[in-house]
Amino acid sequence: MSEIGEAFRDGPALIPYITAGDPDAESTKAQVRALARGGADIIELGLPFSEPIADGPTIQNAIQRSLDAGMTPQSYLDLVADLDVAVPIVCMTYYNLIYQYGDEPVRAFVEAAAEAGISGLIVPDLPVEESDDLRAACDEFGLDLIFIVAPTTKGERLDRVMEQVSGFVYVQARLGTTGAQADVSTQTHDSLGRLATYDVPKAVGFGVSEGHHAREIVAAGADGVVAGSVFVDLIASGENVTSNLERKARELAEGARTGFEQRVPRPERT
């Protein structure tokens, strides 16, 4: 089982997202440590791209701060190589950066990512239709390639996406872009229902910001929760960042655990 797969073995996984280099590389290292202390099982570390069309204003602004501070794909990989946490790191970025890195489009980036210790990739502007090259490189270097399924992904298309997923499937909780929300969308429950028969860990993200969201999502059958904007907001506030990140992670992890205990056992699951 991959490192990412392992992270789902002992109960529900908490997967925080932060943007690398926001506000600078040194702070990112401390933020990652704080999230790990708070109970993160996997950390999604954003590699900033200038046109983040899948992200809402919160993460878009974080990306801008990081780019303004000079973050590049190379300094990102250096930062990851320098991290001293046991939690697997997933790189979330957009395809053009993967395509432009090094001399050999796509493969050079994946090779360097593997060397830096990255366990998986999420590329929100790369649907399965366009992913052959990246899939091949990820297989070659042992990275998981995580795909997103949206509330609009149904029927035969869902099969096609699920065939390609490795590590876990990222269940987009609602239509639109990333951003903290006040409630758990009913689309989450519908999506988890459609996915129930697929034997791949399911992590729900887009809008998750509170412990009770995590509880509800895991109780509804998810194997993990992804939360990004809520952490990015704590970073943006600039006050007591690491202790706030740790506390928030703990709250979400605790919520997920409670949800797992409340989960109605599903007899048909093997």
Partner 1 sequence: MSDSPAKFGDYGGQYVPEVLMPAIEELTDAYERYVLENEDGFMDDFRARLRDFGGRPTPLQHAEQLSARYGTEVYLKREDLVHGGAHKLNNALGQVLLAKYMGKERIVAETGAGQHGTATAMAAAHLGMDCEVYMGRRDITRQRPNVFRMRINGSKVNPVDVGRGTLKEAINETMRDWATNVEDTHYVIGSVVGPHPFPRMVRDFQSVISEEARAQIREKTGGLPDSVVACAGGGSNTMGAFHNFVPDEDVALYAVEAGGSSLDVDEETGVAPNSASLSTGSVGVLHGARTRLLQSRDGQILESHSISSGLDYAGVGPELAHLVDTGRVTPVTVPDDAALEAFHRFSQEEGIIPALETAHAIAYLETADDLGESVIVNISGRGDKDLESVLEETAKRDLANAPEMGVFE
Residue 105 corresponds to which tokens in the numbers above?
């489009």
Q: How far apart are CA 207 and CA 124, in angstroms?
A: 16
Stretch that binds partner 1, among 10-18, 82-90, 171-179, 196-204 (CB under 8 A): 171-179
Cα-only R_g, the chain: 17
Q: Is 228 in the site for partner 1 (CB under 8 A)?
A: no
Least Cβ distance, residue 171 to partner 1 (angstroms) = 11
**Is residue 44 among the annotated active site residues?**
yes
Q: Taking CB under 8 A as the rule, which mask of x and - marks residues 108-127 in contact with partner 1? A: ----------------xxxx
**Is residue 55 among the annotated active site residues?**
yes
Give the one residue of 10, 84, 103, 129 binding partner 1; rule: CB under 8 A.
129
Q: Is 151 in the site for partner 1 (CB under 8 A)?
A: yes
Give the one residue of 26, 51, 115, 183 binding partner 1; rule: CB under 8 A.
51
215's enclosing H/E stretch is: helix 211-219
Rounded (10°) angle between helices 25-37 and 241-262: 40
Active-site residue, selected from the candidate residues 44, 210, 216, 223:
44
Q: Is 99 in the site for partner 1 (CB under 8 A)?
A: yes
Give the one residue of 27, 172, 181, 185 binding partner 1; rule: CB under 8 A.
172
Q: Is 87 in the site for partner 1 (CB under 8 A)?
A: no
Q: How far apart are CA 102 and CA 100, in angstroms?
A: 6
Residues 6+ apart with CB under 8 A from 215: 255, 256, 258, 259, 262
Residue by residue, DSSP assigns 134-159 as HHHHHHHHT-EEE-EE-TT--HHHHH
91's enclosing H/E stretch is: strand 89-92
Query: Applying CB under 8 A, which residues contact partner 1?
Result: 49-54, 56, 60, 64, 67, 72-74, 94-97, 99-101, 124-127, 129-130, 147-154, 157, 161, 172, 175-177
Please identify every residue annotated as catalytic.
44, 55
